[in-house]
């Protein structure tokens, strides 16, 4: 299997998948990073042989892959992206697993029926958040953005998912958080720093999609305030388990490989952080 993205080296999926396969005894399964952008995606998909079980895809490929597939699941179509391609009997099937990761994180935070939620950000990850929140009964989430133009993607996804999104400007966040039990931040590392005090004062549980540079300022502030915090790596782990179920047909993977996957991911993230901290011209390389 392959993890498609550009640049390929940033992808964490191969680390997670390989750790899971080892823990599950699937010694003949592999997952390798393959450099791929929107221009090279059609040719790469066409080159998949019978030995391919499928691939995982990084943004923006999940949207670009939709018209190239033989079949697309209803959830992937509604969210607007297939982050996993499964090859079944010679046919390519697009699936979406990001929402599963967020929904599982919501349950892990003890919020089986939160009633309401605020989503920070309006991109592809926010679309996944809407699908996850719908599954736990939140049909009218508030989506907070800095520019309305940044929320066109999430507005379109909301319509397909059958949820009613209330779009609000970030300056209104304090008022919007009153009584809200959960905040899902889909913002990249650092983008939510200025919002951390406001979110922390609300007392809401925080799901922060950031995997690296952890803990974020948002996570620290919420944790100091006594709120439940779920990190982005946990969401990635749940998402990966769903991908493995789809790709291998191994039903009920459950939490079996979680410890091995988390340990491997933390080691890899630590190596990347150490590499980024190397002085220029030090000559050290991490392969």
Domains of the chain: 2-97+239-276 (3.40.50.10860), 99-233 (3.40.50.720)
pLDDT-above-90 percentage for the chain: 78
Rounded Cα gap, residues 214 and 46, in angstroms: 38
Q: Which residues contact 79 (CB under 8 A, 6 or more apart)?
A: 96, 98, 99, 127, 128, 130, 131, 157, 160, 161
**pLDDT surpasses 90 at 112:** no
Name which residue leads in pLDDT, 212 or 138: 138
Q: Tens of pLDDT along 183-227? A: 999 999 999 999 999 999 999 999 999 998 899 999 999 999 999
Rounded Cα gap, residues 45 and 85, in angstroms: 10
Name which residue leads in pLDDT, 1 or 69: 69
pLDDT-above-70 percentage for the chain: 95
Ordered alpha helix ranges (H), the chain: 13-24, 41-46, 61-64, 74-79, 98-108, 124-135, 152-161, 173-176, 196-202, 217-224, 232-248, 258-276
Q: Tens of pLDDT along 249-281? A: 876 665 568 899 999 999 999 998 888 877 755
The DSSP bridge partners found for residue 91 are: 88
Q: Is 104 helix (H, G, I), strand (E, B) or coil?
A: helix
pLDDT band with cut points at 50, 70 and 90 for residue 283: very low
**pLDDT surpasses 60 at 87:** yes
pLDDT at 85: 97
Name which residue leads in pLDDT, 283 or 85: 85
pTM of the model: 0.92
pLDDT at 281: 54
pLDDT at 275: 86
Q: Tell me which residue has tokens 């990249």.
A: 188
pLDDT at 255: 56
**pLDDT surpasses 70 at 286:** no
**CA distances (Å), 92 to each of 55, 95, 260, in order?**
10, 10, 29
Q: What is the mean pLDDT of the segment spanning 157-162? A: 98
């Amino acid at each position: 299997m392959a993890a498609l993205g550009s640049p390929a080296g940033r992808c964490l999926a191969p680390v997670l998948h390989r750790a899971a396969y080892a823990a599950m005894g699937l010694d003949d399964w592999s997952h390798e990073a393959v450099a791929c952008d929107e221009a090279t995606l059609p040719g790469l998909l066409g080159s998949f042989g019978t030995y391919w079980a499928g691939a995982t895809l990084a943004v923006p490929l999940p949207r670009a892959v939709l018209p190239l597939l033989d079949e697309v699941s209803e959830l992937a179509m509604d969210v607007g992206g297939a982050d996993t391609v499964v090859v079944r009997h010679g046919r390519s099937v697009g699936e979406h697993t990001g929402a599963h990761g967020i929904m599982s994180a919501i349950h892990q935070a003890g919020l089986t029926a939160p009633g309401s939620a605020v989503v920070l950000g309006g991109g592809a990850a926010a679309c996944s958040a809407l699908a996850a929140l719908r599954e736990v009964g939140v049909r009218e989430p508030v989506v907070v953005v800095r520019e309305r133009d940044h929320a066109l993607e999430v507005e379109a996804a909301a319509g397909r998912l059958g949820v009613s999104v209330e779009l609000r400007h970030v300056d209104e966040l304090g008022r919007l958080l009153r009584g809200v039990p959960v905040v899902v931040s889909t913002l990249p590392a650092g983008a939510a720093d200025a919002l951390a005090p406001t979110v922390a004062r609300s007392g809401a549980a925080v799901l922060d999609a950031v995997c690296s540079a952890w803990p974020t300022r948002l996570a620290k502030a919420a944790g100091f305030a006594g709120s439940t915090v779920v990190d982005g790596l946990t969401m990635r782990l749940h998402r990966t388990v769903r991908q493995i179920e789809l790709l291998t047909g191994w039903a009920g993977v459950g939490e079996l490989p979680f410890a091995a996957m988390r340990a491997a991911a933390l080691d890899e993230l630590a190596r990347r952080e150490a590499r980024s901290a190397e002085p220029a011209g030090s000559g050290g390389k991490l392969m």
